[in-house]
Structure 1
Amino acid sequence: MKFDFALILTVLSAVTGVIWLVDRLFFAKSRNLMVKEGEDMIEPVIVDYARSLFPVLFFVLVLRSFIAEPFRIPSGSMMPTLLQGDFILVNKFSYGLRLPVLNTKVVPLGEPKRGDVIVFRYPGRSETDPEKGVDYIKRVIGLPGDTISVNDDQVTINGQAVAYAPEGVFVGTGASMEMTGSPINKELLPGREHVILDQPGSPFPPGEWTVEPGHYFVMGDNRDHSADSRDWGLVPEANLVGRAMVIWLNCDSPGSLCGDGFDYTRIGDTIR
């Protein structure tokens, strides 16, 4: 079962807010009056908790819904740009303000650009896909109206082949060590040059896609180890969560403490 922190935070904010408001409107004045008359009145514990927690919960809800949300990279599909164990901040207003839980856009502010690294809710292969709705992170390759073809990791956009330049060999540590020795290439994507891992051959068959209005074609930077639009299709605009901004922590450790898995050199790296 998917843990929906936004839903839990919204419900808790609503419950504590209602308890606090009801007490302020109907009970607090009479209680204060009785205290002035000398009676020993104690604020109910549930009201005390609601009054203390509501401002904190509401602040966190607004912060992560409309400004920035933390996200942990769970896999190596975006290597070498992002490593497993990176903790990133996602800009929540780049593509418009959306209501929490419903994800309905209420204020349009912008659209994804080619090359943006985005977080989105996985659309799933079907309505019964158990992963449907899980947060994924990939790079935008195709915009609405584009024709994208991919053949052995060679990307072509609207008939123009994207150029590549060798950038050396990847050397990994921890969970990323299995990719050590993979060729690093710079992908000269129009508007956003970036690096990818591209091993010889491809597990994906050649394909061509026309990006529908309101959809995006996305790929992982670890081209041979990424389940993306080549596999399950396009990302609807309604599924967008935000644009990946910066790495604020790296902890490549399965436990609660980073230990030897902590890599301070990645802290503060912007995501391009």
Structure 2
Amino acid sequence: MSVTDNKKAQEGGLGETVKVIVQALLLALVVRTLLFQPFNIPSGSMMNTLLIGDYLFVSKYSYGYSRYSFPFGLAPFSGRIWSAEPERGDVVVFKLPSDNSTDYIKRVIGLPGDEIQMIDGALHINGTPVKRERISDFVEKDSFGVSQPVARFRETLPNGVSYDTLDLNARGFGDNTKVFKVPAGHYFMMGDNRDNSSDSRVESSVGYVPFENLVGRAEVIFFSVSDGQPAWMFWQWPWTVRWDRMFTPL
């Protein structure tokens, strides 16, 4: 083989490599934009359903697509296409209405037209208290490794969806509220960690969430590391990974 032929072969090999990389990146972009997007949990507002250090997949197609489904909000259309409304109890990622850029994850509690109120820590929907059962405490550890029990309740919504909520304080800031009337085209979101969640009860920062702001539905926890441990330190995984949370459906 001549020097020229060898050079052409090298250039051809480099071209194929670049082509494969570009195709892989485009495929990843399509999957992330239209199908599934990974998110990680940075706060404890959804404990104990979601813990700090959980990594989960969110289905982008569940509620259709809006401009917030696309990177940087760049969409060739307005409104929402192929839309499907969320169900009460869904765990949803949405764009914060006050800035339309920050991602939040909460549970859908109120649908358009609903009246939502908290009375002495108990959730009421359209004037009826939601079934709430005291179950075993959730035990968490503080920064010093000291175990702290937290009161835990099993809440069951009118459509039968059940999940755990935490009650850090018997007289928390959101345990008694006014009646919230959910406007048309909006949803009322709440965190499962009721005394440690900035959600629709806080009108100045979250409030009612427009349908257009929904990014997708949380589907499954695919990875989880202990609170405060970096996920990229793979050599520590045998001790830091929460193996029992892997592939937990939501």
TM-score (norm 2): 0.81
Residue 181 (str. 1) matches residue 181 (str. 2) = no
What is residue 96 of structure 1 aligned with on the other side?
A: 64
Please say which structure displays the higher CA radius of gyration: 1
Q: Which has the higher helix share?
A: 1
Note the residue ranges of structure 1 that are not aligned, 5 or more in a row.
Answer: 1-34
Residues 141 and 147 in structure 2, CA contact (< 8 A), matched pair in contact too:
no
Q: Deviations over 1:15-51 (max 9, x none)?
A: xxxxxxxxxxxxxxxxxxxx99xx9698599976753
Deviation of residue 194 (structure 1)? Answer: 1.1
| Residue aligned with 1:57, SS | helix
Give the superposed CA RMSD.
Answer: 2.8
Measured at CA, do residues 241 and 179 of structure 1 come closer, stay the same or move farther in structure 2, by a change above 3 Å? Answer: farther
Shift of residue 53 of structure 1? 2.8
* 1:183 Cα deviation from its structure 2 partner: 0.9
What amino acid does structure 2 have at the position aligned with 1:111?
Answer: E
The 2-side partners of 1:240 and 1:185 are apart by: 27
CA separation of 1:254 and 1:41: change in aligned 2, threshold 3 A: closer
Equivalent-residue separation in structure 2 for 1:152 and 1:178 (angstroms): 29
User: Which protein has greater RCO, CA pairs closer than 8 Å, 6+ apart?
Assistant: 2
Aligned residues: 228
- 1:254 paired residue number: 229
Q: Does 1:209 align with 2:180?
A: yes
Displacement after TM superposition at 1:80 (Å): 0.8
Partner of 1:76: 44
* 1:123 aligned onto 2:97: yes
Give me the TM-score of the superposition, normalised by structure 1. Answer: 0.75
How far 1:216 sits from its partner (Å)? 0.6
Between the aligned partners of 1:135 and 1:112, the Cα distance in structure 2 is: 17
Identify unmatched segments of 5+ residues in structure 2: none
CA distance 1:190–1:40, shift in 2 (3 Å): closer
